[in-house]
Structure 1
Amino acid sequence: MPETPEVGPPVVTPLRVVIGICLVAPFVAMLWVGSYAKTDPTFIGIPFFYWYQMLWVLISTALTMIAYKLWQHDQRSRRDAQGGAAK
C-alpha cells in the first residue's frame, strides 16, 4: 500500500496574507464605485471613470503575477521544510 503524505490543517502565514491582499485589492477597488464615479481629472481627454478602470487592469495583472510568484515561493519553502524534516 503506497504511503500518502499527511495533510495538516491550512496554515496562515504572513506571506499568505500578502497573497490574499494582492488578490482582493482589485475587487475592493472596483466594487467601491463611489470612489471613481466622476469625470475629473481627465487624462489625455479620457474621463477619470474610464482611465481609472483601465489602470486597474494593469495593476490587477501586476498584483496577480506577484501573488503567483509568492505562492510558488511559499510552496517551494513548504516542500523543502517537509523534505528536510523527513530526512
Structure 2
Amino acid sequence: MDRNERTRRTRLWSNWYLLLLPTYAAVLWVPFFNRVEPTILGFPFFYAYQMIWVLISAVLTGIVFFATRQQ
C-alpha cells in the first residue's frame, strides 16, 4: 500500500467520527425525552432537550471537523 492510498483511506474514515454517534442516539430515542415536565427556562422538557442537543451537536461537529481536516 503506497502513501497516497493510505492518505485516501485516512480521509474516508477516522475514529473521530464516532463522536457524532451520541447525537443521533440521544435525539432518536424519543421515549426518553417525550414529556413536558420539568420545564427548563420556561420551555417544556421536550423542546429544551432538543435545543440543548443542537448546541452539543454543533460543538461535537466542530471538534470532529478540526480533528479530521487535512493539514
The answer to whether TM tops 0.5 is yes
Deviation string 1:27-74 (CA, Å, 9 cap, x unpaired) is 1111111111111211122110000000111001000000001102xx
In the TM superposition, 1:1-87 aligns within 5 A as 6-8=4-6, 10=9, 16-17=14-15, 19-72=16-69, 75-76=70-71
**Could you state the TM-score of these two structures normalised by the residue count of structure 1?**
0.63
Q: Could you say which structure has the higher helix fraction?
A: 2
**Secondary structure of 1:68's partner?**
helix
Flag structure 1 segments of 5+ consecutive residues without an equivalent. 77-87
Flag structure 2 segments of 5+ consecutive residues without an equivalent. none
Question: Matched residues in 1 for 2:47 and 2:30: separation?
Answer: 12
CA-atom RMSD in angstroms: 1.9
**Could you state the TM-score of these two structures normalised by the residue count of structure 2?**
0.75
- Mark the structure with the bigger radius of gyration: 1
